[in-house]
Amino acid sequence: MPKNKVVSLEEAMSHIQSGMTVAVGGFLSQGDPLTLIHGLKETDVKDLTMISCTGGFRDRGIVELVKLGKVRRLIASHIGTTPDVVKAFHSGELEVQLVPQGTLAEQMRSGGAGLGGFLT
Q: Which long-range CB contacts under 8 A does 24-29 form with residues at least 24 apart?
A: 24/50, 24/51, 24/52, 24/62, 25/52, 26/52, 26/53, 26/54, 26/56, 26/61, 27/53, 27/54, 28/53, 28/54, 28/56, 28/57, 28/61, 28/81, 29/54, 29/56, 29/57, 29/58, 29/60, 29/61
Q: Where are the chain's structural domains? A: 17-113
pLDDT digits (tens, 9 = 90+) for 31-48: 788 899 999 999 999 999
Residue 2's pLDDT is what?
A: 60
Low pLDDT (below 70) residues in the chain = 1-2, 29
Residue 1's pLDDT is what?
A: 47
Residue 97's pLDDT is what?
A: 96
Looking at domain 17-113, which of 3.40.1080.10, 2.30.130.10, 3.20.20.70, 3.30.870.10 is its CATH number? 3.40.1080.10
